[in-house]
Amino acid sequence: MTNTPRSWLKLTVQCPPEQADNVAAMLASCSAGGVEHGFTGFDHDSPWEEISVYLEQDDSLNDCLQAINDYLEYLRSHHQAVEIPPPRTEVIVDRDWNATWKKEFTPLAVAPGLIIKPTWETYEPAPGEQVIEMDPGQAFGTGHHASTRLALHLLNLLFSEAEPPATVLDAGCGTGILAMAAALWGAEKVVAIDNDPLAVEATRFNSERNQLNSVIQTSQTPLPELTSPFQAVLANITADVLLDLAPELVRLVAPGGHLILAGVLTGQQEAEIVRHFQELGLLLRQQPHQDEWVAFLFRKPHDAQS
């Protein structure tokens, strides 16, 4: 008896970078396989992002397509200057779905001495290298995005200094890469929070897989309910959310501690973030760029109130 090959619909959405995280989260909610990120010129000065998802062609497909189209129409109506084109679709027939995913994910150096690898890959670390294993279903948030790599660069800088942070908060933890990196690099306590229960579950799963769950605490605790300050606070989210959360993020940085922000586009968003957080009393230490993305390392003065 011959097995019928599995059939999938690859759906690709083009969107401006500031909407990429929202679109990716929407697409990921329709598939257990995660999403892929890419870039396209698409007649704009800065590249647009391409986000793809693989949808199994079963009874739920029509509902998924309707939900995706409804969400894109919502974005168009609320961002009238942005005309997001209709999704592209392609039918994929593959006898070995896992093999298709394995071609997309290989070990990746995301920071000096830190390798992210999928669970199916074998990797022999060089002396001094540390490895984080990611679940194969967690394609979104695996360290490939520039904003994550910028945040990791700044976090690595903090842990290379004379007094590295002992306590770290990862606000909006996603799959837990920043939290796990902090734990690997020597943090004594890492609190990883997210308002998405799937993100909390992913962080918990990945921290257990990497034997870091004794250091990392995961929850959906809202920022206002956290009371103790941290020596380092990390937030890799979109610029509008960072601005909304700014007072709480600054409050949770201990005097003399640091705040790392990522997920921000260069230009107007960049200037607004710098101005806003400096007005809240923080000092800007570094501002690295990669492609059209920027991250920030702020320090709270020792004489500031937490």
Q: Which residues are annotated as a binding site for S-adenosyl-L-methionine?
A: 148, 172, 194, 236
The rounded distance, in Å, linking the Cα atoms of 242 and 17 is 16
Which phi and psi angles does 125 have, rounded to 5°? -65, 145
Handedness of CA 70, 75, 81, 86 (dihedral sign): negative
Q: Per residue in 250-266, is it b (16+ CB within 10 Å) or e — as a string?
A: bbbbbeebbbbbbbbbb
What are the counts of helices (DSSP H) followed by strands (DSSP E) for the chain?
Answer: 8, 15
Closest CA to 254 of 286, 232, 278: 232
DSSP 123: -
Please give the radius of gyration of the chain, using alpha carbons only, rounded to the nearest integer: 20
Q: What is the amino acid identity at position 58?
A: D
Q: Which residues are annotated as a binding site?
A: 148, 172, 194, 236
